[in-house]
Structure 1
Amino acid sequence: MNRLILILAMAALVACKRQEKQTTLVGSATTMTPAELASSHYKNMMSTLEKEDFPRSFEKDKLTTSNSEWWCSGFYPGTLLYLYEIDGDTVLFNEANRMLGLLEKEQFNTGTHDLGFMMFCSFGNANRLNSSADYKEVLINSAKSLSSRFSPEVGCIRSWDSGADDYIVIIDNMMNLELLFWATEETGDSSYYDIAVTHANTTLANHFREDNSSYHVVNYAPDGSGVQEKKTAQGLSDDSAWARGQAWGLYGYTVMFRATGDTIYLDQANKIAKFVMNHPNLPVDKVPVWDFDAASDAPRDASSAAIMASALLELDSYSPGQGYNALANEMLTSLSTNYLADLGANGNFLIEHCVGHLPANSEVDVPLTYADYYFIEAMLRAGRVGN
């Protein structure tokens, strides 16, 4: 009897210690660096995924996932590779490679314009860290698939497939051009480069307003006779400045200058940056609400801040002295201080309070896989992974 009481007491003590350890771990998240916290989150996430799932968000207390065809599929392996780059943890590297195996077939997907997001954020980072013929083959095939969506008549890569009378191009598509520049550099085939430049020039001519904000969606006539309509899909209104759209444009034209050296793209990136940093509705903590024309108490979109911060840090190296570095670091400080989730929360994503598609009431005030990706990328660019 005494032995049974002793065993039960010991078991209770162990359980208590285990609970105490778990509570301390969650509560001590703020003592970790963001990179350490991210690594811990992602190791937890690994254990929750079904074999072929790609994490997307955490909504209504449920992890939402996708298959490899979803436009966000490259961000999870890409984030794992960034974290591996920071700390050399092979657990993260092995999981990234597992996901690359699931993603590999998308190199032949001609039904999406998002192959830059999907394949360059994943295989592009893998090849950058450990160049291989296999990675390069996947990336070249991906560039071929993306190029198949280009129309010489319109001068753009088609974004969304729609009716025969429409040719839809969204500002997000600027983010897929980096893959094409890489393909020309790798193969010597200038057709990829030419497609990227033509797309960027057509977008520059038609997507931007006088104040240098951008429309989300431009619908061209498929025969090349011009613009049919300018509108939004995910913004507040056709004439509003959807925050993530401004981030995509800022990042995209910064990449365009890096790839070409043409100052027309640097000028455009600077104009977008000035629109953001001088906007009267940019909150004090520099994390935008989901649309710059929304009410000040509207949901924040931390993913926009992460993307902007990463772009601004690169742009600062081309246009120093404009305040871009300071703004980017203000954004990163705010995200690191008030938008990081404790361990065991947020579906094991790092960044909280993002908005995917508010007009459709989809992914509102939730984590988003690309917010984590661009936040870690920005922290790497800022040299802040240790604090």
Structure 2
Amino acid sequence: MYPETRYEHQEFQNHLLKVVDFTKGNIRKIGINNPKIGTADNQWLYCGPSDWVSSFWTGQLWLCYQLTGEEEFKNSANFRKAYFKEMIANPDWHDHDLGFQFSLSCVAGHMLTEDEEYRQMAIEAAHSLYLRFRRIGKYIVAWNETHILGPEKTQGKTIIDSLQNTALMFWASQQTGSDLLKQAAIDHSETLAKHIVRDDFSTFHTFNFDPLTQAPIKGETFQGYADDSCWARGQSWAIHGFAQTYAYTGDKKFLELAKKLSYFAMEHLKDDPVPIWDYRLPESEPQYKDSSAGAVTAAGFLLIASLCEDEKERDFFEQWGMHLVKGLMDQCDLTDSSEALGVLKNGASFVARDMCDNMLPYGDYYYLEALMRICGHKRYFW
């Protein structure tokens, strides 16, 4: 089930350079702010303290610095250190999103500048993430009692997004020699493989355990259409996340699972490479697209391609990754706009709250990551 068109790398190389130049052009407009969500006129609303979205523009800047070596990218990323220092100093703000927040800011900063303070901040964040690990249930609790769902609904809940956050624990384990962090990340991944992935390789967004006994209860959604639907961005977190777990562990069951989750997504993307926000959305509902789900899925396909030993299988996943990126280039790309502050339109953050058809900084970050993977770049911050 290859895409109908066979893609070559050069077109994507040229567009990668265009995205980097576009990012550079917006640095002074964005300043030291952290983009959160786009407005109707393609400007940004910005994050307050501790926002889970806060790291994606920073990660985008670090990727551009890695590509170009230009000081403007590094300086802009470094200006955000104070934001993350405040976050690490306030443990009441911490939840499972520490991986997003500190992999793309502090792990990235340490990798590219050897700044020891970045390293220590990221290690501290990894240990804080470990404190959310439930040793009996073998999962990471997603949210705090202060979450909008309330304490009665959060204290036994894990979510699919967390599969991207475990990379911080794997990285910190390598830095410190702590097998405790690595084993918790593995255990959590195995628990989600068992409970959040369905038999047909669609996924729940969240899964509930009894907070006292840790017994599994049921899967639900928070941002998807329904408990038994399949939120497209959630599926993408799982594809990228399980592939990343394989990259850290070498355990092939995680790579095989990432592939099977990918096949489910491919079946729903064969007619349009930009996904609808939920793969099981009834036709009677507004068919909002989610460019961010497309970008994460594309990056996940390309990560899988880089991990495949079989040349034909590698080519298959690479072609699918390029197919999704080309869809984003054709339908959602804003780099020809002199006014837009973000790269992609048509993101769906939270459709039930009318947060749809927006620019999203995580869509932009993964779009850049996917373009880089197509063009053969190997080093990332996960």
Instruction: Return the TM-score normalized by structure 1.
Output: 0.85
| 1:337 counterpart (324, 330, 336) | 330
Question: Structure 1, unaligned stretches of length 5 or more?
Answer: 1-29
Q: Does 1:248 align with 2:232?
A: no
Q: 1:117-176, CA deviations, whole angstroms, 9 ceiling, x for partnerless residues? A: 001012222222222322211111111111111111221111012425741111001111
Q: Per-residue CA shift, 1:71-116, capped at 9, x if unaligned? A: 0111111101111222222112111110123222323454311011
Determine if contact 2:95/2:129 at 8 Å carries over to the other structure: yes
Letter in 1 for 2:45: T
In 2, are the aligned partners of 1:285 and 1:330 still within 8 Å (CA)?
no
Residue 265 of structure 2: which of 250, 263, 276 is its match? 276
What's the offset of the Cα at 1:183? 0.7
Q: Within 2, Cα distance between the matches of 1:76 and 1:284?
A: 31
Bigger drift between 242-251 and 307-316 goes to: 307-316
- Whether the aligned pair in 1 keeps the contact of 2:13 and 2:371 (CA below 8 Å) is no
1:370 maps to a residue whose letter is Y
Letter in structure 2 aligned against 1:239: D
In the other structure, the counterpart of 2:77 is: 96
1:25 aligned partner:
none
- Which residue, 51, 54, 79 being the options, matches 1:70? 51
Contact 1:181–1:192 (CA under 8 A) maintained in structure 2: yes
Counterpart pick for 1:143 among 126, 139, 154? 126
Match of 2:166 in 1: 177
Establish whether residue 121 from structure 1 lines up as the match of residue 121 from structure 2: no
Structure 2 residue 39 is the aligned partner of structure 1 residue 59 = yes
| Deviations, residues 197-240 of structure 1 (Å, cap 9, x unaligned) | 11111111110111111100111111234122311111111111
What's the counterpart of residue 154 of structure 1? 137
State the Cα distance separating 1:257 from its structure 2 match.
Answer: 0.6
Q: How much identity, in percent, do the aligned residues show?
A: 26
Query: In 2, Cα distance between the equivalents of 1:224 and 1:268?
Result: 28
Which residue pairs with 2:221 in the alignment?
Answer: 232
Whichever residue aligns with residue 134 of structure 2, its letter is S
Which residues in structure 2 correspond to 1:38-57 (within 5 Å)? Answer: 38-49=19-30, 51=32, 53-57=33-37
Cα drift, residue 241 of structure 1: 0.9
- Deviation of the 1:32 alpha carbon: 10
The Cα of 1:305 is off from its aligned counterpart by 1.2
Aligned length, in residue pairs: 351
Letter in 1 for 2:126: A
Contact 1:107 1:119 in 2 (8 A): no
Q: Does structure 1 conserve the Cα–Cα contact (< 8 Å) formed by 2:37 and 2:44?
A: yes
Which range is displaced more, 289-298 or 229-238? 289-298
Q: What secondary structure does 1:180 align onto?
A: helix
Q: 1:94 to 1:293 in 2, by over 3 A?
A: same
2:180 to 171, 191, 200: 191
Could you list the per-position Cα deviations for residues 234-286 of structure 1 after superposition, in whole angstroms to 9, with x for gaps in the alignment? 11111111100000000110011111111121121111111111x2x325341
1:289 lines up with 2:270 in the alignment:
no
Question: Partners in 1 of 2:208 and 2:229 — Cα distance?
Answer: 17
Does the aligned pair in 1 maintain the 2:95–2:143 contact within 8 Å?
Answer: yes
Task: Determine the structure 2 residue equivalent to 1:325.
Answer: 318
- The one-letter amino acid paired with 1:286 is P
Q: CA RMSD in A?
A: 2.2
Asked whether the 8 Å contact 1:170–1:218 carries over to 2, the reply is: yes
| Greater Cα radius of gyration, structure 1 or 2 | 1
Cα distance in 1 for partners of 2:90, 2:161 equals 18
- Per the alignment, in what secondary structure is the counterpart of residue 160 of structure 1? coil
Deviations 1:297-332 (Å, cap 9, x if unpaired)?
711111111111111112112234232111001111
User: How many angstroms apart in 2 are the aligned matches of 1:187 and 1:123?
Assistant: 16
Corresponding letter in the other structure for 2:63 = Y
Output the amino acid matched with 1:185.
Answer: Q
TM-score by length of 2: 0.86
Is the partner of 1:305 in helix, strand or coil? helix
Alpha-carbon separation, structure 2, partners of 1:316 and 1:276: 15
Residue 218 (structure 1) aligns with: 207
1:370 paired with 2:362, answer yes
Note the C-alpha offset of 1:31.
12
State how far apart, in whole Å, the 2-side matches of 1:113 and 1:171 are: 11
**Higher normalized contact order (CA 8 Å, seq sep 6+, divided by chain length):** 2
Is the CA contact 2:96–2:162 (under 8 Å) kept in the aligned structure 1?
yes
CA distance 1:108–1:197, change in 2 (3 Å): farther
2:349 maps to 356
